[in-house]
Structure 1
Amino acid sequence: MATPQVQGNGMLSREQLLHLFDRFCFLTSQPEVKKRIADAVQDKQEAVAVTTAIQEEIFLEMGIDPRYGISCLGKVSTVYENDLDLVIQFYKFIGKEEIACDEAELGPDEFSKRMLGQQKLQEKQLEMLKYMRKFPLDDQSAILDKIHQQMENANYESESSILSTEHIQGINVQRKASPLFMPR
């Protein structure tokens, strides 16, 4: 009986990567897989070790050497830098892995609270962006610069990505009153 050929060189194809991303997303949404990750965390194992093992199992299903497959994941954003859709799917895959780990580490109640907090933050960010669009592009640029500065000062804490409407108006008034501002 011949052993099946296992891919172990070159780079994974776009189709192989998309299959991995879809399969991983499906598996980590299943209750038994969530329990597997949570049980490992209870046993003092790293959640990411379990999610990596799940990825390795998917690679085996696909006929790909798991070590090779994992090593290819580290190269996706450079090898496929011109394939924006694939890179976006890759970052969604990474995000899904982080969510699976957080859910296992935090437990259902704390995880639900965190997700609700994230949703509220995103809603505030969306409202702020909608408000910003009322301003000319130069003003929008100044607002984004202020947000960037605020985030740097707060060590990139999520809440620092929000400016109130009053703060935004203050930036625009200050910028327009500044003698350094020279319209183009």
Structure 2
Amino acid sequence: MDDVTLLAEDGTAIGTLPKSEVHTHDTPLHLAFSCYVLDREGRLLLTRRALSKKTWPGVWTNSFCGHPRPDEAMSDAVRRHGAGELGLQLSEIRMALPDYRYRAVDASGIVENEICPVHVAVFDGEPAANPDEVSEWTWVAVGPLVEAVTHAPFAFSPWMVEQLPLLRRLGEV
């Protein structure tokens, strides 16, 4: 089982916990990341979280998220999770929102509390989803997705609801 890096309010590492122990009703601040995968046509890979996920099961979200291992380079963590969750060999990985941070509580009361740099990457091909992580996926045009998120934010992960407009303003998606 992987460990997650715990963070002080200023973002400095202060310890680790096993991933299985981090997400509770009182989740400590920790390091994570989000990744938005685009194809060469500019479509976004949207995924639906597996129903077995501890937080936000069955919710549509960005391509994938994860936690870097302690002392793992963020780009290596993005590559590792992309391959493990969706069978992706990513190219052109770039950090788009280095200081993104959020706290959200899902319907079961489990808390996400993360400093979560947001990345954008490119992949050509079709994903091979790990069913323990992803129940469904689809390539979508970003404009209609923004419209859907605006009108039905409850159908999407709270981090994507916040991140997508920020990425649009920067011209990243």
Regarding TM over 0.5, the answer is no
TM range (shorter): under 0.3
State the TM-score, normalizing by the size of structure 1: 0.24
Bigger strand share: 2
Bigger helix share: 1
Instruction: Work out which structure has the larger RCO, using CA pairs closer than 8 Å and 6 or more positions apart in sequence.
Output: 2
State the TM-score, normalizing by the size of structure 2: 0.26
